[in-house]
Amino acid sequence: MAVPVILDCDPGHDDAFAIWLAAGDPNLNLLGITTVGGNGQLAQTTRNAQVVCTVAGIRDVPIAAGADSPLTRTLQTAGDIHGASALDGPVPPEPDVDLDPRGAVQLLHDLLTDSPQPVVVIATGPLTNIALLLRIHPQVRTKIKEIAWMGGSTGRGNVTPYAEFNCWVDPEAAAVVVAAGLRFSMVGLNVTHLALVTPEVLDQLAAVGNATSAFAVELLKFFRASYQEAEGMAAPPLHDPVAVALVAVPEIVTTVHTRLDIELHGPETVGATSVDLHNKLGRPANAHVAVDLDADRFWKTVEDAIRRMR
């Protein structure tokens, strides 16, 4: 039976692929999409989620807007990677899917409460909405099977030397979610940097030959140019769908059960994820942290999902 999932995201080029994978993979049942300020302002990430669903013909999945800023900090966006709209590249269609008026936290609450089975919450942006959900509606905890997050890193960061973007934007939210005691999986840069959009990957996606793949290829061309400019990488890492793949086909991502702490105060390291892979601190394990990826199978899974779109 397909795993019920809710995707909390901040589209974003790689979030778009997370949406298509969550909607198109037969192992998943996408119940809803919630948006958060992150790669762009909330109004942008929300409209981008509508655009991404419109392109792919995803019409039966509610979309609700959530937090426009982190729990305590000022929102920092990622225009250097995702452009002024947070989804630059292809000309976006006018969205033909409405927003759910309930808002993200209420939609998450309602979908979790109404689901007969526990749900996996996949998060591919700052964890602000999820922290708010757990604070406002702690009773829904029993309906959350797992929180699978693209964020953090077992090594270096991508915004500061040690902090990854999603964690750095709202480290307090990440700390709240990690401390909640739910099953928590972290898919960080150490593994998403194995999901590289090589020329071969781009050719295979183009060969799918539907409207979604055409849009996807234009997104990736922009994303590739951004990464070339910002990071000097010729093949950009497509972070967010790796967290979806972990839930859809768990064998694709190797994880270890270990200790994860979020750095909130270090002047040089705020937003870093301290992953105690060698149990130096002797603290109990609290997270399933990704350490390896079957990249070939990952890309095949993404390609198959996009083939199921229009």
Binding track over 167-196 against ligand BDR, x by CB under 6 A: ------------------------------
Please identify which of the residues 193, 239, 278, 288 carries the catalytic annotation.
239
Residue 241 near Ca ion by CB under 5 A: no
**Which tokens go with 48?**
């981008």
**Which tokens go with 122?**
């996949």
Find the part of the chain contacting ligand BDR (CB under 6 A) among 11-19, 61-69, 194-202, 259-267.
11-19
Minimum CB–partner distance for residue 40 and Ca ion (Å): 10
Please give the helix or strand (H or E) that residue 31 lies within, else none: strand 28-35
Residue 154 near ligand BDR by CB under 6 A: no
**Which tokens go with 229?**
């400019």
Residues 28-47 touching ligand BDR, rule: CB under 6 A, are: 39
Minimum CB–partner distance for residue 178 and ligand BDR (Å): 17
If the CB atoms of residues 48 and 286 are measured against ligand BDR, the closer one turns out to be 48
Residue 12 near Ca ion by CB under 5 A: yes
* Cα 170 from Cα 74, distance rounded (Å): 9
* Cα 253 from Cα 294, distance rounded (Å): 7
* Cα 260 from Cα 52, distance rounded (Å): 32
Choose among Ca ion, ligand BDR, none what residue 164 binds, the Cβ cut-off being 5 to 8 Å by kind: ligand BDR
Closest to 39 in 3D by CA, of 263, 239, 269: 239
Instruction: Give start and end residues of each alpha helix (H) in the chain.
Output: 13-24, 42-56, 79-82, 104-114, 128-136, 165-169, 171-178, 189-192, 199-208, 211-231, 240-248, 295-307
Decide: helix, strand or coil at residue 66: coil
* Among residues 6, 16, 81, 163, the one that binds ligand BDR under rule CB under 6 A: 81
239 included as an active-site residue: yes
* Among residues 25, 240, 261, 263, the one that binds ligand BDR under rule CB under 6 A: 240
Residue 12 near ligand BDR by CB under 6 A: yes
Taking a C-beta distance cutoff of 8 angstroms, is the pair 122, 18 a contact? yes
Binding track over 106-145 against Ca ion, x by CB under 5 A: ------------------xx--------------------
* CA distances (Å), origin 159, targets 106, 137, 171, 232, 271: 31, 32, 13, 14, 9
Length of the chain: 310
Taking a C-beta distance cutoff of 8 angstroms, is the pair 245, 21 a contact? yes
Minimum CB–partner distance for residue 158 and ligand BDR (Å): 5
Q: Which residue has the tokens 């270090």?
A: 266
Find the part of the chain contacting ligand BDR (CB under 6 A) among 10-18, 110-118, 129-137, 219-227.
10-18
Interface positions with ligand BDR (CB under 6 A): 12, 14-15, 39, 78, 81, 124-125, 150, 158, 164-166, 239-240
Interface positions with Ca ion (CB under 5 A): 10, 12, 15, 124-125, 240
Catalytic residues: 239
